[in-house]
Amino acid sequence: MVRIRQSLSAPVAWLGRAARYNGTERGAFAQSAKAAIAAVISWVIAAELLSLPQPFLAPYTAVFVVEATVYRSVRYAAQQLAAIVGAVVVAGLTNLLIPSTIASIGVATLAGLLIGQWHRLGSSGPWVGITALVIITFGTSTSASLLLDRLLESALGVAVGTFVNAVLFPPVYAGGAREAVQRLADRLAELLTGVAEGLRRDEVADRAQDWVSEAEHVERFVVQAEQAVQWGQESRRLNIRTHSSRVKVPDDQYRFPLATLRSLAPYVRQLTDALRAMADEELPSRHPGEDERRRFAELLDAVARTVRLRGDPEASEEDLTKSLEDSRERLDELDGYLTADSPIGPAMGLVGMLIPVRRTLRELEAR
């Protein structure tokens, strides 16, 4: 009974989130509403104003053209028009050359599907064969005027759908890029601070494998951030909102921080691998003492703060510079400490872990 109530209340909760928050729910609702508006407008024009014989093709096509971005709508519109033209040509030629309806259905469908394999048609490719099949079975392939009507109906839907998506609240996905990049930075920083805390508490043996697993999962956040930034960049192409005073999103605002954070992920993974190797080491001389662990933990905390700042496009250059200087000073201090130590001293276990940290800091300083 509880699950049934939850299932019934889920749509209401979804609509509530769409009304209250400017998130994915509101974006999905807006795109769905625009598709419905495009369908109504194209039907009114095709059926009421132009009195076309098969007006359903106009709203049918318009709905498919309302894509997630304006650029994608324009690209899909061109592909859809090309697919429809190809279908009309295939249906017309098949009817002209093959008198049998049964045979023409098979030939037109086969030819259309093969033509649809052309990569330039994208996801619209299969519609060459499907539309050719519909045209033949509806009996419109026997008349040139009816074939032209099919083109007009489909072109009308494509034009209306593209226009509605481009003019009526065209989508911009800047917020998703910002959140994804900051989430990646937070994930990396949390892993580094977690390692630092584990070193202070001498819990490396118990938590090393968990750190390795967390470092492996960071790749998922890298992919999510890359996709979000790509969506943000694509949503600005051909978008009239990006030229308004209310929507200002520089092209490189999230791309550069993402490039830096993406380059850090392999080094953080190397650090966790080194910690796991140290945890498996049986020689006591390979395990750093309390003072060495404390120094290294302070270095990791400083690097984690720098990572968070690098992932925040709104962070000041002054704060980032100070954090980088603090991290570099702690690294140099620990380097000097290790150099002064005996080769078989307790700090020897830190040598392998310092390499990925040094590379991490180098990436943070270079960008």
**pLDDT per position as a tens digit, 24-53:** 777 788 889 999 999 999 999 999 999 888
Q: What is the pLDDT of residue 57?
A: 83
Judge whether residue 179 has pLDDT over 60.
yes
Average confidence (pLDDT) over 275-290:
71
| Mean pLDDT calculated for residue range 164-180 | 83
Q: Residue 224, exposed/middle/buried by CB under 10 A (0-12, 13-18, 19+)?
A: middle
**What's the pLDDT tens digit per position in 66-113?**
988 889 889 999 999 999 899 999 998 998 899 888 999 999 999 999
Residues 178, 296, single domain; the answer is yes
- The number of domains in the chain is 2
pLDDT class of 11 with cuts at 50, 70, 90: confident
pLDDT bucket at 142, cuts 50 / 70 / 90: confident
The per-residue pLDDT for 367 is 63
Same-domain status, 23 and 86: yes
Output b/e per residue, 73-109; b: 16+ Cβ within 10 A.
bbbbbbbbbbbbbbbbbbbbbbbeebeeeeebbebbb
What's the residue count for the chain? 367
Q: Are residues 158 and 292 both part of a single domain?
A: no
CATH of the domain at 187: 1.20.58.220
Contact between 195 and 272 (Cβ < 8 Å): yes
The pLDDT score that the predictor gives to residue 204 is 85
Residue whose C-alpha is closest to residue 173's, from 24, 15, 19? 24
CA distances from 242 to 133, 161, 171, 222 (A): 42, 20, 10, 26
d(CA 185, CA 307): 6
SS (H, E, C) the chain: CHHHHHHHHHHHHHHHHHHHCCCHHHHHHHHHHHHHHHHHHHHHHHHHHCCCCCCCHHHHHHHHHCCCCHHHHHHHHHHHHHHHHHHHHHHHHHHHHCCCHHHHHHHHHHHHHHHCCCHHHHHHCHHHHHHHHHHHHCCCCCCHHHHHHHHHHHHHHHHHHHHHHHHCCCCCCHHHHHHHHHHHHHHHHHHHHHHHHHHHCCCHHHHHHHHHHHHHHHHHHHHHHHHHHHHHHHHHCCCHHHHCCCCCCCCCCCHHHHHHHHHHHHHHHHHHHHHHHHHHCCCHHHCCCHHHHHHHHHHHHHHHHHHHHHCCCCCCHHHHHHHHHHHHHHHHHHHHHHHHCCCCCHHHHHHHHHHHHHHHHHHHHHC
pLDDT-based confidence at residue 325 (cuts at 50, 70, 90): very high
Q: How does pLDDT run across 202-259, given as a tens digit for each residue?
A: 888 889 899 999 999 998 999 988 888 888 888 888 888 766 545 555 555 788 888 9
**Domain match, 191 and 242 both:** yes
The rounded distance, in Å, linking the Cα atoms of 284 and 329 is 29
Looking at the predicted structure, is the pLDDT value of residue 22 above 60? Answer: no
Identify whether residues 114 and 199 lie together within a single domain. Answer: no
* Interatomic CA distance for residues 259 and 363, integer angstroms: 10
pLDDT score for 245? 45
Of 141, 167, 193, which residue is a domain's last? 167
Domain boundary among 152, 167, 182: 167
Single-letter residue type at 38: A
Regarding whether 207 and 163 lie in a shared domain, the answer is no
Question: Which pLDDT does position 55 carry in this prediction?
Answer: 86
Q: What per-residue confidence (pLDDT) applies to 21?
A: 56
Region of poorest pLDDT, from 41-55, 149-163, 303-317, 342-356: 342-356
Do residue 237 and residue 149 come from a single domain? Answer: no
- pLDDT attached to residue 99: 86
User: What mean pLDDT comes out for the span 310-327?
Assistant: 90
Same domain, 184 and 156: no
Q: Which of residues 128, 149, 167 is at a domain's end?
A: 167
Q: How confident is the model at residue 270 (pLDDT cuts 50, 70, 90)?
A: very high
| Nearest-angstrom CA–CA distance, 186 and 176 | 15
pLDDT tier at 314, thresholds 50, 70, 90? confident
Residues 159 and 195 placed together within one structural domain of the fold? no
Integer angstrom CA distances of residue 16 from 21, 26, 280: 8, 9, 52
Tell me the pLDDT of the chain averaged across its residues: 84
Mark whether 228 and 94 lie in a shared domain: no
Give yes or no for residue 2 having a pLDDT over 80: no
- The winner for highest mean pLDDT among 125-139, 250-264, 293-307 is 293-307
pTM for the model stands at 0.70
What pLDDT is recorded for position 110? 96
Average pLDDT over residues 317-330: 92
Tell me, yes or no, whether 43 and 148 share the same domain.
yes
Are 158 and 184 contained in the same domain?
A: no
Give the structural domain span for 305: 174-366
Which is more confident, 295 or 289? 295
**Under 8 Å between Cβ of 189 and 92:** no
